[in-house]
Amino acid sequence: MKPKNFHLMYFSPTHTTRRILEEIAKGIGQETTTIIDITKSETRDRKPPVFGNDLVIMGAPVYSGRLPKHAAQYFAGLKAEGALAVPVVVYGNRAYDDALLELKDLAGKSGFIALAAGAFIGEHSFCSNEFGIAENRPDKEDLDKAFAFGRKIARILDGIGSLKDIKPLTVPGHFPYKEIVPRGPMDFIEVTDDCDGCGVCVAACPENAIDETKKYATLTERCIYCCACIKACPPGARIMKEGPLKGVAKTLSENCSARKEPETFMAGH
């Protein structure tokens, strides 16, 4: 079976999900026809196509054991008629809890048939020089595994005649999914005197949550805590303030240092 179009669709503020998906696509070895980067709200506002004889590798990071809210809303609005999906989540070496199941379920509700799925590890959004959490992942080993996963998907595609040959895919997770505990706006970023006004953080922020007219302060009611601005700041002038989120970073660096490995799941056929 040969899908006509290959798509990469991802929400990825700090680019680890994007890097994993790109490597899976390389392993599949087909030209990717479209990249649908849904990280920024502007792109999520554009209506997606109806996916027909396509394969969509769809990915998102794990936020508190679930999908990021904006990504989940976008995935829930997709429409597919006979298209294949490869749901992938990327997490910061704590756990992916119900996020992969949530993504697979959303893909199924949108009409996709899940061919394979994966949970990979990326540097934690809250990782810093002070608190290392899955630092520099995905590394070469992770990327090799993503590539090998892509190769496996290509072999399955070669071996199946039609969609009817694909059996339901099972992935870890529980339903009802882990409860989302609403978090009030949190002022967790400090801009130090090293800020030179370059504006890189404004371009990196997926939520337009940085006010350049107010010394690059964070608009806390829009912020999703993705830390893309902190990681992108060239002089390292954006840092986590002392407070609850920095406390979480410290705890994670102490409790989640044992290396976790990628897991992949293939549908029977």
Please give the residue ranges that form the binding site for ligand SF4 (CB under 6 A). Answer: 13, 191, 195-201, 204-205, 207, 209-210, 216, 218, 223-229, 233, 235, 237-238
**CB distance 83 to 56 below 8 Å:** yes
Closest distance between ligand SF4 and the C-beta of residue 18, in Å? 15
**CB distance 107 to 58 below 8 Å:** yes
| Complex with ligand SF4: residue 52 or 236, whichever CB lies closer | 236
- Cα of 202 vs its chain's centroid, Å: 20
Closest distance between ligand FMN and the C-beta of residue 160, in Å? 30
87 forms part of the interface with ligand FMN (CB under 6 A): no
**CB distance 165 to 113 below 8 Å:** no
| Complex with ligand FMN: residue 2 or 140, whichever CB lies closer | 140
16 binds, among ligand SF4, ligand FMN, none (CB under 5 to 8 A by kind): ligand FMN
Pick one of 3, 48, 65, 87: the residue that binds ligand FMN (CB under 6 A): 65
146 binds, among ligand SF4, ligand FMN, none (CB under 5 to 8 A by kind): none
Give the number of other Cβ atoms within 10 Å of residue 224's Cβ. Answer: 17
Closest distance between ligand SF4 and the C-beta of residue 180, in Å? 17
**CB distance 244 to 250 below 8 Å:** no
**CB distance 130 to 248 below 8 Å:** no
Closest distance between ligand SF4 and the C-beta of residue 194, in Å? 7
- Cα of 260 vs its chain's centroid, Å: 17
> Tokens standing for 256?
């989640």
61 forms part of the interface with ligand FMN (CB under 6 A): yes
Contacts to ligand FMN from residues 104-163, by CB under 6 A: 122-125
DSSP secondary structure string, 105-153? HHHHHTT-EE-EEEEEE---TT--SSS-SSTT-S-HHHHHHHHHHHHHH
> Tokens standing for 259?
């290396």
8 binds, among ligand SF4, ligand FMN, none (CB under 5 to 8 A by kind): none
- Cα of 197 vs its chain's centroid, Å: 29
Contacts to ligand FMN from residues 163-202, by CB under 6 A: none
| Complex with ligand FMN: residue 165 or 254, whichever CB lies closer | 254
| Complex with ligand SF4: residue 205 or 267, whichever CB lies closer | 205
Q: Determine the longest span between alpha carbons in the chain, in angstroms.
A: 62
Interacting residue ranges for ligand FMN, rule: CB under 6 A: 12-17, 61-65, 90-95, 122-125, 225-227
